[in-house]
A and B are shown apart, each in its own frame.
Chain A
Amino acid sequence: MAGPKYPGFDTLALHAGQSPDAATGSRAVPIYQTAAYVFRDTEHAASLFNMERAGHVYSRISNPTVAVLEERVAALEGGVGAVATASGQAALHLAIATLMDAGSHIVASTALYGGSHNLLAYTLKRFGIETTFVSPRDPENFRRALRGNTRLLFGETLGNPGLDVLDIPAVAAIAHEARLPLLVDSTFTTPYLMQPFALGADLLYHSATKFLGGHGVAIAGVLVDAGRFDWEASGKFATLTAPYRGFHDMDFEEESGTRAFLLRARREGLRDFGACMAPMTAFQILQGIETLHLRMPRHVESTRKIVAFIEKHPAVEKVVYPELPSHPDYELCRQLLPKGAGAVFSFEIKGGRASGKTFIEALRVFSHLANVGDAKSLVIHPATTTHYRMSDADLERAGITAGTVRLSIGLEDPQDLIADLERALKAAVK
């Protein structure tokens, strides 16, 4: 007898989280542009505040449009639920603030987005949370950096900007042996290319600004929990397993088991830090997700064509893309990313900083800006922009040189993109 089947990814991308609006029949997700919600009576109000009934109180905590996005991303990732945030950075901060207090320690990959590196290396340090950065190339580096006060292991599915492939099964095993969770930034891969929970990660987040939205019109983040990690058994997460005076002495794990992390993230993190998502933003990200399964294959297909062109160009020193046999994570990429290594890659132009500058300024179709994952193709010079706060040593550890150029391949005609690159490379080496 054949068992029952789950809806496919494409169907979930279009439907998960939303039934046609009961009040109006609206097929599209309505934008509930409201700050607050009228209570039926005083008892209903008290019940909502005390988590005795489901529903919305105030849009900083939850909103019907935002809830559709949260449920949809959780469905696509195979999580128990999600909390949408004002940005990807807000999602990372929310995860950390929910898990630990001052005096805690994180082991993070060196291959991180510059903003994440900054948060961990400098900002959180001011609040008593220290981070040890390790090369993700050898998962054992994570084990070697563990301390008694370590509370989290963290990396990007595809490291920024060297595209190091995080060996999630290996790092997750090290984390779990130490009774710790693994958090991954899944922005570059999206649930279409990789599902980190199936590989062993416990928590993940997206900068939904990038491929999930795909249009580059909204800043957004989403934090998702697999619901797998047993906080009580770990014994290291008092924020989730001890009574919290800030919410009626609630023990979040006791109260809700698999939902403990998200419950505290919402009830404390959104309530107190307030980095929530606006309903219009959720609507915009949802429009993107509805075509994620169509866009990502095209992103990957065009990227492969452009990588093949760039790799052979005489003005290029080297190309960094995990699908190339020259990339140190080539085999791991084949194993963990069979649908493709995404649409972001970097290359080193001959002639260093000056050539890089000329190249970028000669481009006409590519847009020079600090973003990735747009439907439009993008270019940036990390050493002078996204990673400019990093020291030379940190830059080197992150695999960046003065001549590194990062491209994010969009959905234009790939031949037009190749022609644009050819023209700019010619100008750069003149």
Chain B
Amino acid sequence: MNFKVAGKPVFVYTAARALDPGKPALVFVHGAGLDHSVFGLQSRYFGYHGWNVLALDLPGHGRSEGPPIPSIEGMADWVREVLEHVKIRKPGVIGHSMGSLVALEYAARHAAERIALIGTAYPMPVSEAFLEAARKNQHAAFDMETIWGHAPQVPLGGNPNPGMWMYGDTLARLRRLAPGVLYNDLKACNDYSGGFESAAKLQCPALFILGRRDVMTPPKASRGLSQALKNSEIVTLESSGHSLMAEAPDATLDALIEFFPRRADL
């Protein structure tokens, strides 16, 4: 779905289906330097199982025009603008990595039915070397995101998605970015400081889906945040790294299906 928000073209993947006011909505927010298609299998599933699906391309990512938004809080407010445009209130929000912070902030600032935080951590510090490489638009930043963004066995293992090479796919997405977008995103993650305050405001249930072999946001890095939430549960996927939707697509989907009740149950 293409439309404009604040005069800028925005793209939202809806599983090629028209939004139905009678259905609940799930919003998917991608991570740093990525786009809506990282949720390809999972968003498509919900789109065909009773939900309005809105997998966003944040400004400057995928098909949404830039510039990128420099803060997590700004991204959360932009999501609100997008949802107001399509008249959706109180959706479920699913975020990955940077998108998980956006989901948390969105739920605290606005309202969410439930949130799912995939591959998350709070705080989400980014190493100086990674930030510096991204600031200089060096390919080394893409390499760091690609290698640290997957479990160590990924380059030597099989991709659950037949015929695809996970490293190559991540690199291809990053190489399509305009200069400065990855740095913008990494800095937004690094600078975000409102996580505990937002967690304290949250009333809705939260699900953490974590990868045991995640070297970017290891499970222990989200412990404080999960403890700060009144109603949270954790699913840890043993073999997955940070790219859970690609590395463990079915297990990630199963956890989401379990957490987001079917329409009849809402």
Q: Which of A15, A70, A255 contacts B40 (CB 8 A)?
A: A255
| Contact between chains at B253 and A53 (CB < 8 Å) | yes
Q: Which of B144, B158, B162 contacts A4 (CB 8 A)?
A: B144
Q: Which of A55, A75, A84 contacts B155 (CB 8 A)?
A: A75
B178 within 8 A of A: no
A39–B176 CA distance with the chains assembled, in angstroms:
37
Task: Name the segment of B166-174, B199-207, B227-235 touching the other chain.
Answer: B166-174
Q: Count B-side interface residues using an 8 Å CB cutoff.
A: 44
| Contact between chains at A243 and B172 (CB < 8 Å) | no
| Contact between chains at B45 and A53 (CB < 8 Å) | yes
B44 within 8 A of A: yes
Q: Which residues of A contact B250 (CB under 8 A)?
A: 53-55
| Contact between chains at B173 and A257 (CB < 8 Å) | yes
If A3-B133, A81-B168 touch, whether A18 touches B160 (CB-CB below 8 Å) is no
| Contact between chains at A254 and B16 (CB < 8 Å) | yes
If A74-B168, A75-B165, A257-B35 touch, whether A52 touches B175 (CB-CB below 8 Å) is no
Q: Which residues of B contact A55 (CB under 8 A)?
A: 160, 162, 250
B22 within 8 A of A: no
Given contacts A7-B155, A47-B45, 19 further A-B contacts (CB under 8 A): A1-B129, A3-B140, A6-B167, A12-B156, A18-B156, A53-B45, A66-B162, A74-B165, A75-B165, A78-B168, A78-B171, A79-B165, A227-B173, A249-B16, A250-B16, A255-B16, A258-B172, A258-B173, A262-B163
Q: Which residues of B contact A79 (CB under 8 A)?
A: 165, 168
| Contact between chains at B164 and A259 (CB < 8 Å) | yes
B48 within 8 A of A: yes
A256–B42 CA distance with the chains assembled, in angstroms:
12
B37 within 8 A of A: yes
B147 within 8 A of A: yes
If A232-B63, A257-B62 touch, whether A52 touches B45 (CB-CB below 8 Å) is yes
Q: Which residue of B lies closest to A258 (CB)?
A: B172
Q: Which residue of A lies closest to B164 (CB)?
A: A81
| Contact between chains at B45 and A80 (CB < 8 Å) | no
| Contact between chains at A243 and B165 (CB < 8 Å) | no
B193 within 8 A of A: no
Residues of A37-95 contacting chain B, CB below 8 A: 47, 50-56, 62-64, 66-68, 70-71, 74-75, 78-84
| Contact between chains at B160 and A80 (CB < 8 Å) | no
A66–B159 CA distance with the chains assembled, in angstroms:
12
A-B contact pairs, 28 of them (CB 8 A): A3-B133, A4-B143, A5-B147, A6-B155, A18-B156, A18-B158, A19-B153, A19-B156, A52-B41, A52-B45, A53-B45, A53-B249, A54-B160, A66-B162, A70-B163, A75-B155, A79-B165, A80-B164, A80-B172, A81-B168, A84-B163, A250-B16, A255-B16, A257-B35, A257-B37, A258-B176, A262-B164, A266-B162
A68–B168 CA distance with the chains assembled, in angstroms:
15
| Contact between chains at B167 and A17 (CB < 8 Å) | no
B182 to chain A, nearest CB (A): 14
If A3-B144, A16-B156 touch, whether A54 touches B16 (CB-CB below 8 Å) is no
Q: Which residues of B contact A47 (CB under 8 A)?
A: 45
Q: Which residue of B lies closest to A197 (CB)?
A: B168
Q: Which residues of A contact B171 (CB under 8 A)?
A: 78, 227
B157 within 8 A of A: yes
A251 within 8 A of B: yes
A430 within 8 A of B: no
B51 within 8 A of A: no
If A52-B41, A248-B16 touch, whether A266 touches B168 (CB-CB below 8 Å) is no
A101 within 8 A of B: no
Q: Count A-side interface residues using an 8 Å CB cutoff.
A: 56
If A3-B143, A53-B253, A82-B163 touch, whether A256 touches B172 (CB-CB below 8 Å) is no
Q: Which residues of B contact A5 (CB under 8 A)?
A: 147
A17–B63 CA distance with the chains assembled, in angstroms:
30
Residues of A230-288 contacting chain B, CB below 8 A: 230, 232, 243, 248-251, 254-259, 262, 266
Q: Which residue of A lies closest to B253 (CB)?
A: A53
A75–B153 CA distance with the chains assembled, in angstroms:
14
A184 within 8 A of B: no
Q: Which residue of B lies closest to A63 (CB)?
A: B162
Q: Which residues of A contact B44 (CB under 8 A)?
A: 50-52, 255
B10 to chain A, nearest CB (A): 14
| Contact between chains at B144 and A19 (CB < 8 Å) | no
B120 to chain A, nearest CB (A): 21
| Contact between chains at B163 and A227 (CB < 8 Å) | no
A256–B173 CA distance with the chains assembled, in angstroms:
11
| Contact between chains at A80 and B168 (CB < 8 Å) | yes
A226 within 8 A of B: yes
Q: Which of A19, A51, A74 contacts B164 (CB 8 A)?
A: A74
Q: Which residues of A contact B249 (CB under 8 A)?
A: 53-54
Q: Which residues of B contact A256 (CB under 8 A)?
A: 37, 40
If A51-B44, A52-B253 touch, whether A19 touches B140 (CB-CB below 8 Å) is no
Q: Which residues of B contact A81 (CB under 8 A)?
A: 163-165, 168-169
A79–B48 CA distance with the chains assembled, in angstroms:
30
| Contact between chains at B41 and A80 (CB < 8 Å) | no
Q: Which residues of A contact B143 (CB under 8 A)?
A: 3-4, 6
A228 within 8 A of B: yes
